[in-house]
Amino acid sequence: MAVHRDLSPETPPPPPPAEEDDSHARWKASVVSELARVVDNRAINAEYRHLVADCGEESAQARPGQFFQLLCPQPPGGGQPFLRRPMSLYGVDPEKRRVEFLYKVAGLGTRGLETLRAGDRLDIMGPLGQGFRLNADCRHIVAVGRGAGLATLAPLAKAAEARGIGVTAILSARRPDLLVSVELFRHHGAEVITVTDSQSTSGPANVERLLRRLIAEGRCDAFFTCGSSRLMGVQQRLAREFDLPGQVAMEQQMACGIGLCHCCVRDFNVNGEIVSRRVCWDGPVFDLMEALP
């Protein structure tokens, strides 16, 4: 297996540049950084907070699996986060022009996010990256998430519903009270199966059993997953066994978020060759079979 890191596949071509005679008029940004206005920012359980913000037209075009880069305010006690922080789209309303995020307070930047109150401004940049692709000939998909992946997968529920695609969501967490997105999936007609560490239901063996049943029932035309490399491994095995397609949303530390800096690379196995891709630009959603843990 030849190792060539950072040999990204062709990146999506840039939008066709404007013609010379009328360039300024023609060119239009597809990614913006704007001062969104916070509508709400509250804890929904012991770990996660839900942030809702009014935004502009472009941001409100975000699609499931895409993400934003947030310029986090300074948390109390000082220390200005210098770089933006990536956050998956959790919800979007193109009419109301509103985006939602679900985040866990981890370090400097997210501690800054925590301080935001309704009415405050938040500099958001997006929508970014390649989101999930919902294939028209899919009838029923399975979404398997854990951790921040529960936020990343959430917007699939509405999108699948809109396309008449059935969804089974297997949502994993340490404890039942730390599960998120359960109501959201149900609201959009998905079947939700919750598995937790405290109930000893979240192990790979149990999830594999659940998935095998769904496959057997013809309710798994594709896997969508995020947030657990163990569960990703289970799905990769089943996908190979049953020749099913799948997509996975990956995380990596980011600086620019738009493919400039090559700090967010990960290795992928593309037909037996290891290639390096930028999570922000070539992903964050990748082909399940190419992802490496």
Partner 1 sequence: MSETRDIDMSVRIGGLTLRNPVMPASGTFAEGLESVIDFNRLGAMVTKTITRELRAGNPLPRVVEQPGGMINAIGIPSKGVPYFIERTLPCYTPYDTPLVVSISAPTAEGFASLAAELSIPGVAAIEANISCPNIEEDGKAFAMRAESTENVTRHLRAATNLPLWMKLTPNTGDMPEVARAAEAAGADAVVVANTILSMAIDLKTFKPCLGNIMGGLSGPAVKPIVLRHVFQCARAVGIPVIGCGGISCADDAAEYLLAGASAVQVGTATFVKPAVMVDIIDGLATFCQRRDIPRVADLIGATVIEEADEPDVSWLSPAS
User: Under the criterion CB under 8 A, does residue 265 sit at the interface with partner 1?
Assistant: yes
Number of CB atoms found within 10 A of residue 46's CB: 8
How far apart are the C-alpha atoms of 77 and 86, rounded to whole Å? 23
Length of the chain: 293
Number of residues that bind ligand FAD (CB under 6 A): 24
Considering only 210, 255, 269, 287, the residue that binds partner 1 (CB under 8 A) is: 255
Q: What distance in Å separates the CA atoms of residue 77 and residue 91, rounded to the nearest whole number?
A: 31
Residue 293 annotated as binding site: no
Beta carbons of 245 and 215 less than 8 angstroms apart? no
- Which residue's CB is nearer to ligand FAD, number 51 or number 141? 51
**115 counts as binding ligand FAD under rule CB under 6 A:** no
Residues 58-97 that bind ligand FAD (CB under 6 A): 67, 81, 83, 85-88
Any binding-site annotation on 86? Answer: yes
All residues at 6 or more sequence positions from 3 whose CB lies less than 8 Å from its CB, including other chains:
274
Taking a C-beta distance cutoff of 8 angstroms, is the pair 226, 145 a contact?
A: yes
Instruction: Find out whether 125 is annotated in a ligand binding site.
Output: no
Nearest approach in angstroms of CB 84 to ligand FES is 9
- The alpha-helical segments, DSSP class H, found in the chain are 23-26, 108-113, 149-153, 155-162, 182-187, 204-216, 229-242
User: In the 8-state DSSP scheme, what is residue 1?
Assistant: -
Taking alpha carbons only, the member of 166, 157, 145 closest to residue 249 is 145
273-278 and 265-270 strand pairing: antiparallel
Q: Which is nearer to partner 1, 87 or 211 (CB)?
A: 87
Please, what is the minimum distance in Å from the beta carbon of residue 255 to ligand FES?
Answer: 5
How many residues lie near partner 1 (CB under 8 A)?
45
Residue 293 contact among partner 1, ligand FES, ligand FAD, none, beta carbon within 5 to 8 Å by kind: none
145 lies in the binding site for ligand FAD (CB under 6 A) = no
Would you call the peptide bond into 284 cis, given omega within 30 degrees of 0 as the criterion? yes
Q: Does the annotation list 138 as a binding residue?
A: no
User: Residue 27, interface with partner 1 (CB under 8 A)?
Assistant: yes
Footprint of ligand FES (CB under 6 A): 254-257, 259-264, 278, 280-281
Footprint of ligand FAD (CB under 6 A): 67, 81, 83, 85-88, 101-104, 106-110, 148, 151-152, 251-254, 284
